[in-house]
Amino acid sequence: MKSLGFSILVAVILVLCAPSALAAYPNSFGNPEYEWITNVNFSGIDQTTGAMGYGNYTNVSASVSINTSYNLSVTIYNSSAGYVTAWIDWNQDEDFNDSGEKFVVVANTSTDGPHTVPIAVPNGSATGTTRMRVSLKRDSAPPSYGYFGFGEVEDYSVQVSGPAPPIPELPTIALFSIGLLLLVGYVLRKK
Ligand SMILES: [Ca+2]
Ligand SMILES: [Ca+2]
Ligand SMILES: [Ca+2]
């Protein structure tokens, strides 16, 4: 019984010490005492929120397709020299540092908005579920991680699917041929 108790203790210690698979994205949060994000709107997301400092809305998802552009609109409250930046982890490596992952929504604003930026889903993005982070910071642009003083951070999910199939184009020659056949048919019927 003694060895069983010891085994259980070891198992508990191992579980407690194991790195959490869920905590892969770097944490970030602000102090929402004076200004915060009130709404995020992006291709299926339309989330109205209060002042949290950090809001985990990863249960709320946008759906986007590669090579298509979508507007991201962010509304803020009581902004004073507010800077809003968004990031989407296109390559799904659980950071926001890669080329094309950062979007400046608005810089140094004193209006609530909505502030809108177009976001084109890059060719070569990984498909599946990834993360979008939207951050508001007072006085300067927010970093993608860490605590940064006055402002707020909200995380969302984005479902990325492959490019929409191209609309098949009728070649000009086919259209010309159809036109010619119709003309011939018309002429023949007139006779
Ligand atoms: Ca909020
Ligand atoms: Ca990344
Ligand atoms: Ca990276």
Residue 16 belongs to a domain: no
Q: What is the DSSP string of 4-55?
A: HHHHHHHHHHHHHHSPPTT--SPPEEEETTS-EEEEEEETTEEEE----SEE
Q: Say how many Å lie between the CA of residue 151 and the centre of ligand 1.
A: 9
The per-residue pLDDT of the chain, averaged, comes to 88
Structural domain boundaries, residue 127: 30-166
pLDDT tens track for 2-29: 566 656 555 554 444 444 444 589 999 9
Query: Which CATH number fits the domain that encloses residue 112?
Result: 2.60.40.10
Nearest ligand, measured from the Cα of 102: 2
For residues 79 and 64, which has the higher predicted lDDT (pLDDT)? Answer: 64
Q: Would you say 39 and 74 are in contact if contact means Cβ atoms under 8 Å apart?
A: yes
Range 66-83 average pLDDT: 95
Residue 69 belongs to a domain: yes
CA neighbor of 162 nearest in space, from 122, 119, 117, 133:
122
Q: Say how many Å lie between the CA of residue 99 and the centre of ligand 2.
A: 8
The structure's pTM equals 0.77
Beta bridge partners of residue 158, listed in sequence order: 62, 130
Distance of alpha carbon 135 from alpha carbon 157, whole angstroms: 15
Nearest ligand, measured from the Cα of 40: 1
Q: Say how many Å lie between the CA of residue 55 and the centre of ligand 1.
A: 6
Residues, CB-to-ion distance under 5 Å, ligand 2: 89, 91, 93, 95, 98
Residue 181 belongs to a domain: no
pLDDT tens track for 77-98: 987 899 999 999 999 999 999 9
Residue 67 belongs to a domain: yes
Residues 6+ apart with CB under 8 A from 175: none
Residue 112 belongs to a domain: yes
Count: domains in the chain: 1
Q: Say how many Å lie between the CA of residue 93 and the centre of ligand 2.
A: 5
pLDDT tens track for 86-142: 999 999 999 999 999 999 999 999 999 999 999 999 999 999 999 999 999 999 999
For residues 6-32, one letter each, b for 16 or more C-beta atoms within 10 angstroms of the residue's C-beta and e for the rest, the string is eeeeeeeeeeeeeeeeeeebeebbbbb
Residue 6 has a pLDDT of 57
Q: Say how many Å lie between the CA of residue 134 and the centre of ligand 3.
A: 18
Q: Say how many Å lie between the CA of residue 125 and the centre of ligand 3.
A: 13
Residue 66 belongs to a domain: yes
